[in-house]
Each structure stands twice: as C-alpha cells, then as structure tokens.
Structure 1
Amino acid sequence: MSNVELFHYLLLLICGAGALTWLAERLTIPPAVVLLFGGCVVAVAGKRVPDMDPDLLLAAVLPPLLMSSSFYTAWKEFRGELGTIVSLVLGAVTFTTVAVAFAVHACNPALPWAACFTLGAIVSPPDAVAAKAILQRNPLPARLVAVLEGESLVNDASGLLIYQIAVSAALAATTITVAQGAGLFFTLILLGIAVGLVCGQAMCWVLARLVDPMLGIVLSFAMAWASYGVAEAVGGSGVLSVVTCGLVLGIRQHRVFSADMRIKAKATWEAIVFMLDALVFVLIGLALHGILARVNHESAVVIEGLRVALPATAAAIVARLVWVFVAIWLPGRLRASGANNAQNANGAGNVNRRAWSFAEAAVMGWAGMRGVVSLAAALALPGNFPGRDVIVFSTFLLIIATLVVQGGSLALLIRLLKLRPPARHTMSEHETRARTFGASLKALDAIGQRADAIEPAMLERLQAEYRVRVSANENAHTAGEERIAHRERFLRVELELVGVSRQTLLGLHRAGKVDDAVLHRIESELDLEELRLLRLLEP
C-alpha cells in the first residue's frame, strides 16, 4: 500500500468512525463497542488492511488522548483519593497479574509460567482511552470518576515493570532481582514525572508569552508528543510524563491561558480527541487482520487461544472485583464503623473521608475495560517469545470481552444501583455566579469614585446590567424552581435576540453594505454571546 493509498485509507476510516459513532448514538450503545466491531468487520472482510505498528500507535495516538484526559482531571478529587488510586495502581495490577497467570496455567499447563505472567501483566492495567470513552457518558460521583480516570492514567508503570520482568524471564535473557525491579519501577516513575514537570513548566512559560492562540494550540499538541518521546528516550514512563505535563497545564490554565486561547483550544482539542478516540477502537478491531493472518497458518492456535482467553478474562474481571471489595470497600466500611462507634461513645469526632458505598465499589470493580495499551504491549512481544501468537490472540479476545461485556453493561449497572452524584456541599452554580458578579458590582462603585472614571451614564448602565445578573442568580439560588423558570425564559428571549441580530447582520452582508472583515468580527461576538447563553441554559 503506497503512502497516498494509506492516506486515503485513513480518511475512509475517519469517515467510517464518524458514521459508526452516529449509529451508536441512535442505538444508545457505547460508541467504543460499535467502533470495535466495525474494525473487526473490516479486518475480516477487507482484502488490503495495513499492519498496525504498536510503537507508532502508542507514540502517535496515545499522547494527545492522555494530555486531554489529564488536562481536565479534577485535581482536588485526584489528590484527595490518591490512596485509593495507589491501591489500584500497585495492588490491583499485581493481584490481577497473579490471578490471570494462575488461572491460565491451570487451564493450560503446557504454557510456560513466564508466558502466563506476561499475559497477566499485559491485561492487568485498565486502559485510559477505554475508561474515558465509557465513563464520560455516565453521570457518576466526582470522586469515583477521579479514581477511575486517575488509575487508568498512571497504572502504566506497574504494569510495564511486571511485563518487562516476565518477558526477560521467558527469554532467559537476564535475571531481575527484587532490588533491580524496585529500581526500574522508581526509575520509570521518577523520570517520567520529572520530564513531565519540566515540559509542563516550559509550556506554561511559553504560553504566557504568546500572542497568537493558534500557535499556542499547535505547541500544546507538540508538547504532548515531545513529553512522551523525551521520557521514553531517557528511560522513563512516557505515559506518566504526558499525564504530569497535562496536570501542570490543567492546574495553571486559568493564569496562563488567555480567554481567546481557552475557547479555541477547547474546540480544537475536542474535535481532534473525538477523531483519535474513534480511530483507536477502529484500529483495535483492525488488528484482528494481522492476528488472523498468523493464526490461520495454525488452526490449533484458535482453540488454544480460546482456552487461554476465557480463563484470563474471567480471572481479570473477578480479581479486580475482589481487590476493590476486599482492599478498598471493606477497610473503608470498618474504619467508618469504628469512627462512628467512637463518636457515639465520646460524643465528638468526625469522619474525614466518606467510605465507599457498595454501589460505588461495584462500579469501580466493574469498570476495568482494557484497550489499546494492552494490545500494543502484546503486539510488541518478540517474535521468538514462547506462545506469542496465543498471547496476542487471547489478549485481543479479552479486550473485546471487557469492552463489550463491562463497557456495554456499565450504564445498566449504574441505573440498577441507582448511583448518582451526591448532593453538593459547595456553592451552587447560581450562588457562585451571584458572588462573582457581586464582586464586579462593588468594583464598579469604586471605579465611579476615581478621577479617571467613565461617564456617569455609562457607569449607571454597567451597574444596572450587573445588578440584573446578580439578582437573577440570587433569585434562582434562593427562590427555587419558579425563579429558575423565569430566568430560563429571560435567557431564551436573549438567545432569540441574538438570532435576530445574526439574521440582520447576514442580510446587510448579502446587500453589500457590510464587508467580510466586519461580518466575521461581529459574527464572532454573536457566536460567543450565543455560547454563553446556551451554557447558562444547560441543566
């Protein structure tokens, strides 16, 4: 396949991914599942399917997706649930690796232990892309989302360490001691985080000095790939580097990014991430073509792959559920019960962190979808690795099983458990707006007393506008549903007036009374006003 043909092939894949996503929306099925099956159909029916380079997939597609996820990570919730995240990253990954290895070896005694542990290490870490694609469609408590997304973003180091040890043992290249393994683990983490911090700080310094927002957006994409590549080159974790860089940018965005850059960057990133998200699941399905090409030469591999995939899938799912309930849910309930008993006995005391509920633990344990990282790790196995074809084939089957079974049923599980975000203990959106605009109203009073103040008529107009904003949000906050309905009707009238202004502007342009430069400038202002009103009307 020539470069031009490959380019046209990718364009067709993007168009097909868009059509499948639209179909999934109409059928209310998770798009990841539909895209995955679409890729499988193309892989089986297609005659000319390009081979997927796992290293290129990780280096080209994964960094922007990780950067986007970490950029919008709720840092406070992430930091507050760091203990739970570490338990999943270290404990659950290791426990799942061991459980999968023992289950696979019990059903396939001929498969070497090192190969069994390698398969366990490949499929033990949940995938960040899969987790985000499934979770963003379901309303969940903020702390649960922070744990699931945070875990999938940083579990690369532990899974990669076990993977490298197992591969080395299987090939009998070297024997890795406990000290060497610990050193490798901390090297991956520390170097990855250090490179990410440097890249994030450098990016913040550059963005604060840029005037052109488009250049800043291009550099943000370049930094996603650069932070990944530099970390991998120096022996660190590229995934942790990108995640750290994204966290730094996300935390400092409100001081570093201009309003223009934030609006344009959000739109650009959302469009590209949507395309890459869709492509990832299609490419996973397309990988079946290369797998089948190798497997067809030895039909016994299909039967053996199924014998490996079934126990591996069951062990991976059950091991995560067991770990979540035994190591996370149960200790939390015991601590909460002990704290409540102490509080009742002493008449004082308080539980700092709310224990995980059964529903939250069930969703946490069930949301263990595997994806592109596991497939890339399997495809990256050396050609002489024992049982390589069986491992790759069974990994592919396990990814499909977790995406279809767990990802496809996650929304139903959430509805059955009636899991909803808890009532907020912070200020509501209306109260926050009232406080924010109230501060501006007080500042207007001070501005009016300065020697260089604006004209009294303009000052009164601004004061009247901000009084309306403050009173509308205060009424919506204190008076309940009736005032909220009044506010909504008011906003819809404003939105209608924006539409009238837009039609008038376009009419003036068609009549030749307004040139293109004025048209685009005023239309941009109307677009921003329309976006503001639509955002205020969101439930």
Structure 2
Amino acid sequence: MNNVELFHYLLLLICGAGALTWLAERVAIPPAVVLLLGGCVIAVAGKRVPDMDPDLLLAAVLPPLLMSSSFYTAWKEFRQELTTIVSLVLGAVTFTTLAVAVCVRAFNPDLPWAACFTLGAIVSPPDAVAAKAILQRHPLPGRLVAVLEGESLVNDASGLLLYQMAVSAALTATITVASGTGLFFALTLIGVAVGLACGQAMCWVLPRLRDPMLGIVLTFVMAWASYGIAEAVHGSGVLSVVTCGLVLGIRQHRVFDAGMRIKAKATWEAIVFALDALVFILIGLTLHGILAHVNHEGAVLMAGLRVALPATAAAIAARLVWVFAAIWLPSRLRAGHVSSQPWSFGEAVVLGWAGMRGVVSLAAAIALPGNFPGRDLIVFSTFLLIIATLVVQGGSLAPLIRLLKLRPVARHTMSEHEARARTFGASLAALEEIGKRASDLERATIERLLAEYRIRVSANENAYTSGAERVEHRARFLRVELELVGVSRKTLLDLHRDGKVDDAVLHRIESELDLEELRLLRLLEP
C-alpha cells in the first residue's frame, strides 16, 4: 500500500467512523464499543489492512486528545480530590499489576514471572481516551468525574515505570528498587517540567498573536511538541502534554480573546471527534496483525484465551477491591471526623467499574521486543482484555449509572442565573456611573443600554428567586428572541440574493447573528 492509497484508506476509515458513531447514537450503545467492533470486522474481513505502528499512533493521535481532556479538566475539583487520584495512580495501578501477574501465573505456570508482571503493568492503568469517550455522555457527580478524568490523565507514569522494570527483568537487565524509584521520579519530574515550560511559553505567545487561526494551529503544534520534547529527554510525554493542557486550561480566560476562544473550541471539537473515533477503529484494526502471528502458531489462540480471561477478571476485580478497601471504606470511617463528604456506595461502584483500557495499553504491548518471552501471548491477551473492558464495562456503564440513580450533586455555589445577575449587575452599575458623566448627546444611547441591562439583571434575578414559573417565562422570551434572529437571517439572505448586499456585509452580519443565536441557544439549555 503506497502513501496515496494509505491516505485514501485513512479517509475511508474516518468516514466509516462517522457512520458507526451515527449508528451507535441511534441504537444507544457507546460509540467506542461500536467503533472497536467495526475495526475488528474490517481487520478480520479486510484483505489489505496496513500494520499500525504503535509509536506513530501514540505520537500522532494521543497528544491532541490528552491536551483537549486536560484543557477542560476542572482544576479546582482536581486539587480537592488529589489524595484519591494519587491513591488510584500509585496504589491501584501497583495492586492491579500484582493481581494480574499472580492470577495469570496461577493459570499459566509455564509463563515466566517477568512476562506475567509485564502483562499486569501493561493493563494496569485505565486509558484517558477510553474514559473520556465513555464518561462524557453520562451526567455524574462532579467529584466522581474529577477523579476519573484526573486519574486517567496521570496514571501512565506509574504504569510505564512498572512496565519498564518488568521488561528489564525479563531481558536479564539488572534493576533495583532504588533505580526503579529514580526512573519513576525522572519520568514524572521531567515530564511535568517540560509541560510547564511549554504551557508558560504558550501563555506568553498567544496574547501576542493577532491572527486567531495562527494561535489555534500553535495549540495543536504545542500538543505534539510537548509530547515529543519530553520523550526526547527521557521524560513522560503523557505527563508533559497533560501539564501543558492544565496550564493553558487554568489561564485560558486571560490568555485567549473571545474570537480565538470561539474558533478554537469549534476547531478542537471537530478534530478531537475525528481522532477519538479513529483511535478505537484503529485499535480494532490491530487485530489483523495479531491474527497474522496467531495463524503462524495456532496454539497461541487457546493459550491467549487462557491468559486473557484470568487477566481480565483480575484487572476488573483488583480495581473494585482497591476502590472499596482504600477509598470507600476509609471515607466512611472518617465521615464524622473530616469535613469532606464520604463516598457513597453508588459512586464507589462506578469508580471501580469505570476502568476501561485502550490505546496506551495496546501500544505498550505491541512495542515489546521481538525476543521477549511470551510476546505473542501478551499482545493477543492485551487486545482481548481491551475488548472485554470496553464492551463489558463501557457498554454496561450507562445502565449501571441509571440503576444506581447517580446524579450530579448540587454544590453550595451560585446558580447560573444568580451568577448572571451578579455579572450583569456589575456592568449595570458601571454603566450608571458612565451615564452620570455622559453628555446630553450620549445620554439617549446610555439610556438604551441601561434599559437592556436592567432587563437582563431582572430576568436572571427572577429566574433564581421566583421558581420554575419565572424560569419558563424567561425561556419563552428567549425563544421569541431566537425566532427574531431567524427572521433577520432570512431577510439578510433575501437581500443578498436580490443583489442588494455584497458578500463582505453578508458574512459580517451573518457572523453577528450566529453569535447571537449561539448565545440564545446556550441560555435555553437545561
């Protein structure tokens, strides 16, 4: 397959991913599951399936997805739940590695311990891409979302350390606890340092760019650059991208102007959607290369099942045990002594069940050296485990959430309507001060603005103080405004069609109407 054919093949995959995503929405199945199964079907039935380079997959696809996830991470909630996240990142990953190794060894006594530990390290960290793809479609308590997203973003450093130690031990290289600890801190500190430097550089450069498109392109370039630079200096590329994204996310409100923020969000959403869909279909396509090895050695198929089944059961059970023993139970015991809310049973169940594996685990397995003991078994069983966690856990997550009746917890903060009333109220006060100094000629304009802002403040104050009836009254008023935007748009297009408005004026006014329509639709969201 030459480069042009590969390009056309990727375009077809993206089109197929879009069609499968549409189908998944219609049948109420998580798109990640449908895309993965679609990739498997292509891998089994397709005659010309290109081999996927795991390093290219990680370097090209993963950084933008991680940057997007970390950019929108709720930093305040992340800090508040840092203890729980660290418990999962260090404790759960290590415990899962040990549990998988012991369980696989018990069912496969001929498999070397180093190979068992390597498999455990490969599948121990849940995947950030898989977690986001599954969880973003379900409204959950803010604390639960913060922990799941935070854990999935930073747990690769601990998983990678255990992976490197197991591979070194299997290939007879000497590694000690001291050297392993040093390796972990080197990966973490270098990755975080590179990410901080890249994030700070972006925060300095972006406000100085006049062209929003150039700034948007630079955000994508920095996602790949922060990953590549960290990997080049032997740090964690994943942590570097995540740190860079967190820095930009925290400072975005001062670094991005309104135009860049609107255009960047639309651009990133479109590209991340395509990459997100492509990741899962590419995971399915790797089955083609795996089956090629299995076909050369038929015994690997049954042996792979003997490895994959206990590994999957151990990985799922270990996470549930850790969550209940190390997070849920201590929070219940400390309930009367600390101010933080204890974890409910339902939250703990979802936290323990949402341990989907994905692209990082598969890439680590495929990257094993060719002479690694039991390599084909590890790659094949890793693929089966990814399938099982995405299909079984990912597919059952929505019914489980509905069964447990988990809902976002009301926080002791202002409602959206009260916050709007406060922000518009500040503008109204400033406008009144301006009006006192205005000339008679300016007074009429100031009065119109005062009337508009008084309506905005009054509507939002009534919405949060007068109950559902006032909220519905406000919604009817907004729908009338939305209808008027449609009338303005139709009139503008009619004028353009009749040759009374040129293209430049059309695009400028249409852009203003688009922003107004987006504002009204956002206000009408429940």
Amino acid aligned to 2:296:
H
Q: How does 1:515-530 map to 2 (within 5 A)?
A: 515-530=502-517
SS for the counterpart of 2:174 is coil
The whole-number CA distance in structure 2 between the counterparts of 1:449 and 1:176 is: 76
Match of 2:253 in 1: 254
The whole-number CA distance in structure 2 between the counterparts of 1:126 and 1:69 is: 15
Amino acid aligned to 1:269:
W
The whole-number CA distance in structure 1 between the counterparts of 2:407 and 2:441 is: 49
Match of 2:518 in 1: 531
1:435 aligned to 2:435?
no
Q: 8 Å contact 1:447–1:453 — kept in the other structure? A: no
TM-superposition CA deviations, 1:116-151 (whole Å, max 9, x none): 000000000000000000000000011110100100
Match of 2:22 in 1: 22
- CA drift of 1:453 comes to 8.9
Q: What TM-score, normalized by structure 2, do the two folds share?
A: 0.99
Match of 1:364 in 2: 351
1:511 aligned to 2:501?
no
Q: How does 1:320-469 map to 2 (within 5 A)?
A: 320-337=319-336, 339=337, 351-450=338-437, 455-469=442-456
Amino acid aligned to 1:406:
Q
Amino acid aligned to 2:369:
P
Number of paired residues?
Answer: 526
SS for the counterpart of 2:437 is coil
- CA drift of 1:478 comes to 0.5
The whole-number CA distance in structure 1 between the counterparts of 2:501 and 2:33 is: 49
Q: 1:48 to 1:454 in 2, by over 3 A?
A: farther
1:158 aligned to 2:158?
yes
TM-superposition CA deviations, 1:5-57 (whole Å, max 9, x none): 00000000000000000000000000000000000000000000000000000
SS for the counterpart of 2:371 is coil
Match of 2:79 in 1: 79
The whole-number CA distance in structure 2 between the counterparts of 1:283 and 1:421 is: 33
1:192 aligned to 2:179?
no
The whole-number CA distance in structure 2 between the counterparts of 1:424 and 1:193 is: 31
Match of 1:214 in 2: 213
SS for the counterpart of 2:238 is helix
The whole-number CA distance in structure 2 between the counterparts of 1:470 and 1:444 is: 13
Structure 2 gap ranges (5+): none
Q: How does 1:19-168 map to 2 (within 5 A)?
A: 19-168=19-168
TM-superposition CA deviations, 1:461-513 (whole Å, max 9, x none): 00000000000000010001100110000000000000000000000000000
- CA drift of 1:353 comes to 1.0
The whole-number CA distance in structure 1 between the counterparts of 2:243 and 2:188 is: 11
Match of 1:348 in 2: none
SS for the counterpart of 1:375 is helix
Amino acid aligned to 2:458:
S
SS for the counterpart of 1:296 is helix
1:291 aligned to 2:278?
no
Q: Which moved more, 1:362-371 or 1:420-429?
A: 420-429
Q: 8 Å contact 1:369–1:403 — kept in the other structure? A: yes
Q: 8 Å contact 1:97–1:121 — kept in the other structure? A: yes
Amino acid aligned to 2:486:
G
Q: 8 Å contact 1:122–1:163 — kept in the other structure? A: yes
The whole-number CA distance in structure 1 between the counterparts of 2:473 and 2:120 is: 58
The whole-number CA distance in structure 2 between the counterparts of 1:220 and 1:483 is: 42
- CA drift of 1:452 comes to 7.0
Amino acid aligned to 2:8:
H
Q: 1:453 to 1:404 in 2, by over 3 A?
A: farther
Match of 1:347 in 2: none
Match of 2:484 in 1: 497
Match of 1:228 in 2: 227
TM-superposition CA deviations, 1:175-228 (whole Å, max 9, x none): 111110110000000000000000000001000111110000000000000000
- CA drift of 1:450 comes to 2.8
Amino acid aligned to 2:388:
A
- CA drift of 1:449 comes to 2.4
SS for the counterpart of 2:175 is coil
- CA drift of 1:451 comes to 5.7
Match of 1:201 in 2: 200
SS for the counterpart of 1:368 is coil
TM-superposition CA deviations, 1:269-312 (whole Å, max 9, x none): 00000000000000000000000001001110000000000000
The whole-number CA distance in structure 1 between the counterparts of 2:381 and 2:179 is: 30
The whole-number CA distance in structure 2 between the counterparts of 1:256 and 1:447 is: 28
The whole-number CA distance in structure 2 between the counterparts of 1:175 and 1:363 is: 40
TM-superposition CA deviations, 1:384-404 (whole Å, max 9, x none): 000000000000000000000
Match of 1:300 in 2: 299
The whole-number CA distance in structure 2 between the counterparts of 1:453 and 1:394 is: 80
Match of 1:470 in 2: 457
- CA drift of 1:538 comes to 0.3
SS for the counterpart of 2:214 is helix
The whole-number CA distance in structure 2 between the counterparts of 1:451 and 1:418 is: 56
TM-superposition CA deviations, 1:209-262 (whole Å, max 9, x none): 111100000000000000000000001000000000000000000001000000
TM-superposition CA deviations, 1:401-456 (whole Å, max 9, x none): 00000000001111111111112210000000000000000000111123679711
TM-superposition CA deviations, 1:498-538 (whole Å, max 9, x none): 00000000000000000000000000000000000000000
Structure 1 gap ranges (5+): 340-350
SS for the counterpart of 2:48 is coil
Q: What TM-score, normalized by structure 1, do the two folds share?
A: 0.97
Q: 8 Å contact 1:67–1:243 — kept in the other structure? A: yes
The whole-number CA distance in structure 2 between the counterparts of 1:230 and 1:450 is: 55
Match of 2:176 in 1: 177
Q: 1:9 to 1:452 in 2, by over 3 A?
A: farther
Moved over 4 A (4+): 451-454
The whole-number CA distance in structure 2 between the counterparts of 1:13 and 1:537 is: 36
The whole-number CA distance in structure 1 between the counterparts of 2:142 and 2:58 is: 28
The whole-number CA distance in structure 1 between the counterparts of 2:115 and 2:143 is: 36
- Tell me how large the CA RMSD over aligned residues is: 0.8
TM-superposition CA deviations, 1:312-339 (whole Å, max 9, x none): 00000000000000000001100114x2
Match of 1:267 in 2: 266
Amino acid aligned to 1:440:
S
Q: 8 Å contact 1:448–1:454 — kept in the other structure? A: no
The whole-number CA distance in structure 2 between the counterparts of 1:122 and 1:525 is: 51
